Amino acid sequence: MTQITGIKLNSIVKRFGDVTAVNNISFEIKPGEFFALLGPSGCGKTTTLRLIAGLETATKGTILFNDQDVTRAEPKERDIAMVFQDYALYPHMTVAENIGYPLKVRKVNEKEKAKKVIETAKQFKIDHLLDRKPGQLSGGQQQRVALARALVHQPKVFLFDEPLSNLDARLRLESRTFLKHIQSKLGITTIYVTHDQAEALALADRMAVLKDGQIRQLGTPQEIYEQPADSFVADFIGDPPMNLIDCRLNPIKGNLEILFPGIKVTIPEEKLVLNKKVDPKKDYIFGIRPEHVILADRKGDIEGKVYAIETLGSMTLITLMVGDSRVRVNTHEMNLGLKIEQEVPIKLNYDMVRIYEKESGLLIK
Amino acid sequence: MKDFKKVMFRLGYNVLVVFLSAFFALPILWLIFTPFNEKPTLALEFPLNPTLANFAKVFANDYTINAFQNSLIQSFGATFLVIILASLAAYAFSRVRLPGKGIIMYILVLFSSVVTGIAAMVPVFFLLLKVGLIDTHIGVILVFSGGFLPTAVFLLKDFVDSISTTYEESALVAGASRLQIFKDIIFPLTRPGMVVVGVFTFVQVWSNFLIPFLLLRSSEKMPAAVAIYAFTNDVGIPKIDLISAYSLLYTIPVVAIYIFTNKKYGFRFYGGLKG
């Protein structure tokens, strides 16, 4: 069994000319953890991964593998494996040669190499493809070969750069499950870069959400889903996305008036405890996930008018017009008998309401 | 009326094509048929009693065999040197972030034709004389290599450019050194490009007359392209029997190389492979 490695990044900065791709990032990955770097394109997640791989060198800061400084170490000194978005399978080599390549450059003798290649190929159920060239394989098979090649020399750290984005939707789900299984079984420290929030939520033990080269939030998928640290994260995480509605807040005598565009809701103050004093002149963002908006039987907190009903199989997505804003409601009930333009009372789960300052985007509840 | 016009157009078009084809085919037919005639002339005659006597005369001459050897030395020498240096240089040009490398490339290609061109022959001659490479195979090989390298680098750079950098990165991460990556990945993937460049260089050197003619002094070092000038009698009248047989032999290596490489690798003008 290989030694399990923890990784630490200390105030990492990476500049390309005038462009700062990674701006003062620090985080720690525990040994054996599945860690996801999530963010939109150009947020610096791939650069961060490449810095950890040693394909780029940090402008500032240090990278530690188990307290050993590898900031300036060559990739081959780091004992890592990386799976690329396009898999980077060598087109002129057979599957067996591809899988065996990390062993070849490590000068492992032929007999042991052949043994390990077959062993690994069996583990990934590709042992019947060993004589083929990558061009003759399907997308899913190519991905398995890439995984097998990455794992054959039992690396200390496993790096993924969007390995599922070239697969079609169904295969992606299957591969995701397979990845999670393999990683849990082997317990190798894994860093996974993706722009797909569902992938990050599904796979990661912990994750970092990045934007403009900075970490916006670091935590477990559940923490990030339930308590997005700012309005960007709130908007980025979740499908269907969180309802984010501009509003003003006005506290009057133990009550809180929430002024949405075109509608006003008044609730007792203790229902929505804010950790900052409210300024009635400032703009705020009212956030609530679609599953926390509940269709009420008779009397609700607000009334909404049905805008669209979309059946998603296991659930129904209903979009309501509340005042001038659209509000998505997610429910598991199937036959609601709703009609378009119909008035519906709704209740809000105030425990799960998040309020952000519009200007700073910061969470105040 | 319309049909008549159409027919006439087709007829005219075909006549023109036949005429043009014949015009270009004649010298080739002459080259193929004439050596087998008993009394070869400049006219195209189909050999009714084919004979190999002309070839026998060519092979009886030590000088000609020697000339073929020289041609092979010079052509393969230059080809080998160009392929090795051009592929290394193309890799560097493609991968290294170097300001102004596009302009350097452009200037090199632009001026490369000067090296093997007539205008530079006097300085090149003096240069070789000074470094003592006049009348050597090495001298000829170096001048040819210098002339063809920029074009070869330019062609090969395109091949290397089309190879995704993730191949190299994945090999780097897997633990390979730069040299291993070149040997295991870049070299096999640019091989079709090297074949193109190699055949191009070989054919150019094989058929070049001027450079070996100027840079070589002793007749035992002359390549085939120059040796052909020896086939005249004392008053300078060409010996058609020898020339025709010799010319046919002269074309064989080029055709053979083309057929061999095309069969083995196939000519392609792009690099990499679909993943």
pLDDT at B41 over 90: no
The pLDDT score that the predictor gives to residue B95 is 86
Q: Which of A221, A236, A251 is the last residue of a domain?
A: A236
Q: Are residues A83 and A155 in the same domain?
A: yes
* Percent of chain A surpassing pLDDT 70: 99
Q: Are residues A139 and A182 in the same domain?
A: yes
Q: Are residues A108 and A23 in the same domain?
A: yes
pLDDT band at A49 (very low <50, low <70, confident <90, very high): very high
Is A221 part of a structural domain of the chain? Answer: yes
The pLDDT score that the predictor gives to residue A274 is 86
Higher pLDDT, A207 or B257: A207
Q: Are residues A207 and A278 in the same domain?
A: no
* ipTM score of complex: 0.81
CA distance A195 to chain B (A): 19
What average pLDDT score do residues A165-190 get?
Answer: 89
What average pLDDT score do residues A178-198 get?
Answer: 92
Q: Encode burial over B22-61: b for 16+ CB neighbours within 10 A, e otherwise.
A: eeeeeeeebeebbbbbeebeeeeeeeeeeeeebbebbeee
Q: Are residues A278 and A350 in the same domain?
A: yes
Is A365 part of a structural domain of the chain? Answer: no
Are the C-beta atoms of A106 and B176 separated by less than 8 Å? Answer: no
Write the residue in A80, A89, A102 that is nearest to B275 by C-beta.
A89
Is A2 part of a structural domain of the chain? Answer: no
Q: How many CB pairs under 8 A join A and B?
A: 76
The pLDDT score that the predictor gives to residue A218 is 96
Chain A CB contacts of B189 under 8 Å are 91-92
The amino acid occupying position B37 is N
Residue B155, Cα to own-chain centre: how many angstroms? Answer: 15
Q: Are residues A143 and A75 in the same domain?
A: yes
Q: Are residues A204 and A280 in the same domain?
A: no
Is A307 part of a structural domain of the chain? Answer: yes
Task: Report H helices in chain A.
Answer: 45-53, 75-78, 95-105, 110-123, 139-151, 169-186, 197-203, 221-226, 231-236
Cα-Cα-Cα-Cα dihedral sign, residues B35, B39, B43, B45 = negative
Is A62 part of a structural domain of the chain? Answer: yes
The amino acid occupying position A39 is G
Chain A CB contacts of B176 under 8 Å are 76, 101, 105
The pLDDT score that the predictor gives to residue A1 is 43
* Percent of chain B surpassing pLDDT 70: 95
Burial of B113 (0-12, 13-18, 19+ CB in 10 A): middle
Q: Are residues A207 and A321 in the same domain?
A: no
CA distance A81 to chain B (A): 6
Is A300 part of a structural domain of the chain? Answer: yes
Q: Which of A236, A267, A298 is the last residue of a domain?
A: A236
Is A1 part of a structural domain of the chain? Answer: no
Query: Which tens digit of pLDDT belongs to each residue from A224-264?
Result: 999 999 999 999 999 899 999 999 999 888 888 999 998 98
Query: Which tens digit of pLDDT belongs to each residue from B220-273?
Result: 888 988 888 778 777 778 888 888 888 888 999 888 988 888 787 766 555 444
Q: Are residues A155 and A254 in the same domain?
A: no
What average pLDDT score do residues A91-120 get?
Answer: 92
Query: Which tens digit of pLDDT belongs to each residue from B70-129?
Result: 999 999 999 999 999 999 999 888 888 888 888 888 888 887 777 767 778 888 899 999
Q: What is the CATH number of domain B57-264?
A: 1.10.3720.10
> How many separate domains does chain A show?
2
Chain A CB contacts of B178 under 8 Å are none
Are the C-beta atoms of B157 and B194 separated by less than 8 Å? Answer: no
* Percent of chain B surpassing pLDDT 90: 25
Chain A CB contacts of B190 under 8 Å are none
In angstroms, rounded to a whole number, what is the distance separating the alpha carbons of residues A352 and A357?
17
pLDDT at A207 over 80: yes
The pLDDT score that the predictor gives to residue B273 is 40
Highest mean pLDDT among A205-214, A298-307, B240-249: A205-214
Are the C-beta atoms of A233 and A224 separated by less than 8 Å? Answer: yes
The pLDDT score that the predictor gives to residue B136 is 92
Which domain range does residue A51 map to?
7-236
Question: What kind and span of H or E run contains A213?
Answer: none
Query: 10 Å Cβ neighbour count for A273?
Result: 9
Residue A23, Cα to own-chain centre: how many angstroms? Answer: 20
Highest mean pLDDT among A340-349, B37-46, B225-234: A340-349
Q: Are residues A336 and A218 in the same domain?
A: no
| Cis amide linkage into residue A240, ω under 30° from 0 | yes
Nearest CA to B121 out of B141, B143, B151, B136 is that of B143
pLDDT at A269 over 70: yes
Q: Are residues A163 and A270 in the same domain?
A: no
Rg (CA), chain B: 24
Query: Which tens digit of pLDDT belongs to each residue from B189-224?
Result: 888 888 889 998 999 999 998 889 888 988 888 898
Query: 10 Å Cβ neighbour count for A246?
Result: 13
* Percent of chain A surpassing pLDDT 90: 66
Nearest CA in chain A to B180: A105
pLDDT band at B275 (very low <50, low <70, confident <90, very high): very low
The pLDDT score that the predictor gives to residue A170 is 87
- A22-31, A146-155, B141-150, B235-244: segment of lowest average pLDDT: B235-244
Cβ B177–A53 below 8 Å, yes or no? no
Domains of chain B: which residue ranges?
A: 2-51, 57-264
In angstroms, rounded to a whole number, what is the distance separating the alpha carbons of residues A262 and A255?
19
Query: Which tens digit of pLDDT belongs to each residue from B130-158?
Result: 999 999 999 999 999 988 898 899 889 88
The pLDDT score that the predictor gives to residue B271 is 47
Name every residue in B having a CB less than 8 A away from some CB of A. 164, 166-167, 169-177, 180, 184-185, 188-189, 272-275
Q: Is A90 on the interface with B (CB under 8 A)?
A: yes
CA distance A273 to chain B (A): 51
Cβ B169–A101 below 8 Å, yes or no? no
Q: Are residues A46 and A31 in the same domain?
A: yes
User: Which CATH number characterizes residue A106's domain?
Assistant: 3.40.50.300
What is the edge-to-edge ordering of all strands in the sheet holding A343-348?
A: A293-295, A343-348, A302-311, A316-322, A325-331
Tokens standing for residue B192: 């079709």
Q: Which of A210, A236, A262 is the last residue of a domain?
A: A236
User: Which CATH number characterizes residue A313's domain?
Assistant: 2.40.50.140
